[in-house]
Chain A
């Protein structure tokens, strides 16, 4: 990472930490939502863009991430923000178990299988009266939170979650598992033949993505102090995650950032500027996704990259320097 990047990041970090003092409640809430969406998009991107797993049921982890801190908070009589770590743990555990049978399905079948699983969890929770059933549950422990700190806390947590998602994904991809993942993405047969444990790489990615998504869901719902199955397990979560990644640029770390900016711009344009009902921005999002799939499947970021020059968050590695083994020039050590 260049010096300029480091400086920019440091400044951004300071600005974020000081956020509550120079941002109003409205802008803070908006940014919180944006950062949480970014975090979720990064997890979907990790799955689809790097592990080759297209999950259309990722909303199950948003929902589980929403409900688990609520339940824990009530059980332990603690403010929800203290028990947020429960969310990624529960989601990781569920993901680990469910991977065992969903991984038997390939490609499109895996995609819809995850969706079916999400519906099963959603329907099951709707039937549990102690969790509020279909109407959902509020948070009696909300009284333990000082209301003046609700927005700032949410803002910091959202920023941290987004930063964590990006840093975490970056670190994972630069690790051995990450290198394995990228070979799997490009050609899983070839990857297996050189000894990459395809299943394990995908499993790690799936569990980590679930955890990340769960944490984002937890922060999102802790802030609203209310969770209901129709909201927590709404397929629109994955619709937005997916389209943000697709439009922004799948398989790159910068893509979801670009995608999230485009998404929120579109949403504000449609609902605020043109004053249309919310469904229309989803129509716009869908049309944009169709356009991207037809004409520019790599998304917007690669186009921008050419203009702006240089990668910001590239995970590409340098190949090892080749040394001739006493042969003629042009022989590569890699063979």
Chain B
């Protein structure tokens, strides 16, 4: 029974991991860039959330998701416009990862200097530990909320990309950044918005993670690795693949923690390595 509960919780948290990764998947899919500072922005969003919560003590963290997401969007837009756009057109595939890695190192160490290395978390009151019984299984309320939010955001993202004019422009730019200029589209501006969107999504995931567990300025590494594993497991080019990848990782991690409490993300990482060994193109997708 407890195993089934663990697996169910794993699925629910998996939605969170999917959300962590889908922003990265978006960036990779549209501009072929792997943003190695993705994790640091997730952590930064959590710090911003903590600071806002401090300043507005009566407000529940879940309400703070919106302003934090807006701030994250602006940061992503700025990162792309000022830095990443300059290397996106270069033929060297490593230029962007080396650049964003530099950004990550700067951010990580600045956060240590500014916020300190002590673990923080986002207090959510009773919500963080409340649980309810569904079909005889005890499941946390927060995980259910997380899953609902993740599915909602995924669906929204899918709708935007597949059914709106903006989404069409994004897909066209991803297909061919030169031809799309012939239609009056400035690829750089598209990238700015996409990066902003990706980080906004990641910030939601970051905040939810901060409610569930504590974080430090060094947590970005773990967030990045999970995000990346989600992208690769899910296979490129599919958002729902990222969701499934996230769920697989979530289940692996929680099940692993049940019989090996100090393992941290070890079993999620192991699952990733095993899948990569057997199916380098991910569970669903196009080649990385």
Grouping DSSP codes into helix (H, G, I), strand (E, B) and loop, the A interface class, with mixed when no group exceeds half, is helix
Question: Number of A residues contacting the other chain (C-beta, 8 Å)?
Answer: 41
A243 within 8 A of B: yes
B34 within 8 A of A: yes
B112 and A279 contacting across the interface, CB-CB below 8 Å: yes
Q: Decide yes or no: A116 and B269 within 8 Å by CB, A104-B277, A108-B93, A109-B232 being known contacts.
A: yes
C-alpha gap A70/B250 in the complex (Å)? 35
A40 within 8 A of B: no
C-alpha gap A279/B108 in the complex (Å)? 9
Q: Which residues of B contact A56 (CB under 8 A)?
A: 101
B269 and A54 contacting across the interface, CB-CB below 8 Å: no
Total A-B pairs, Cβ < 8 A? 116
A112 and B225 contacting across the interface, CB-CB below 8 Å: yes
The digit string for B86-104, where 1 denotes a CB below 8 A from any CB of A, is 1100001111011101111
B276 within 8 A of A: yes
Looking at B4-12, B49-57, B132-140, B257-265, the stretch in contact with chain A turns out to be B257-265
A286 within 8 A of B: yes
Within 8 A of B (CB), among A80-130: 101-102, 104-109, 111-113, 115-117, 119-120, 123-124, 126-127
B228 within 8 A of A: yes
C-alpha gap A246/B264 in the complex (Å)? 32
Q: Decide yes or no: A119 and B105 within 8 Å by CB, A54-B94, A105-B276, A294-B86 being known contacts.
A: no
Q: Which residues of A contact B95 (CB under 8 A)?
A: 293, 297
Say which residue of B94, B98, B273 sits within 8 Å of A289 (CB atoms).
B98
A101 and B266 contacting across the interface, CB-CB below 8 Å: no
B83 and A290 contacting across the interface, CB-CB below 8 Å: yes
Q: How far is the CB of B110 from chain A (nearest CB, A)?
A: 6
C-alpha gap A65/B101 in the complex (Å)? 25
A282 and B273 contacting across the interface, CB-CB below 8 Å: no
Q: Decide yes or no: A297 and B92 within 8 Å by CB, A116-B229, A282-B109, A286-B109 being known contacts.
A: yes
Question: Number of B residues contacting the other chain (C-beta, 8 Å)?
Answer: 43
Closest to B262 in A: A127
B167 within 8 A of A: no
B273 and A242 contacting across the interface, CB-CB below 8 Å: no
A242 and B99 contacting across the interface, CB-CB below 8 Å: no
A285 within 8 A of B: yes
B113 and A290 contacting across the interface, CB-CB below 8 Å: no
A107 and B229 contacting across the interface, CB-CB below 8 Å: no
B106 and A104 contacting across the interface, CB-CB below 8 Å: no
C-alpha gap A294/B83 in the complex (Å)? 8
B156 within 8 A of A: no
The digit string for A306-330, where 1 denotes a CB below 8 A from any CB of B, is 0000000000000000000000000
A277 within 8 A of B: yes
A116 and B105 contacting across the interface, CB-CB below 8 Å: no
Q: How far is the CB of B88 from chain A (nearest CB, A)?
A: 12
C-alpha gap A127/B262 in the complex (Å)? 7
Q: Which residues of A contact B287 (CB under 8 A)?
A: 106
Closest to B277 in A: A101
Within 8 A of A (CB), among B202-243: 221, 224-225, 228-229, 232
Q: Which residues of A contact B94 (CB under 8 A)?
A: 48, 54, 107-108
C-alpha gap A117/B276 in the complex (Å)? 12
A239 within 8 A of B: yes
B105 and A289 contacting across the interface, CB-CB below 8 Å: yes
A273 within 8 A of B: no
Closest to A108 in B: B34
B225 and A126 contacting across the interface, CB-CB below 8 Å: no
A287 within 8 A of B: yes
Q: Decide yes or no: A115 and B225 within 8 Å by CB, A280-B113, A287-B102 being known contacts.
A: yes
16 sample A-B contacts, Cβ–Cβ < 8 Å, listed by A number: A104-B276, A107-B94, A108-B93, A108-B97, A116-B228, A116-B272, A116-B273, A119-B225, A123-B266, A123-B269, A283-B105, A286-B106, A287-B102, A289-B102, A293-B87, A294-B83
**Chain B residues within CB distance 8 Å of chain A:** 34, 83, 86-87, 92-95, 97-99, 101-106, 108-110, 112-113, 221, 224-225, 228-229, 232, 260, 262-266, 269-270, 272-273, 276-277, 280, 287-288
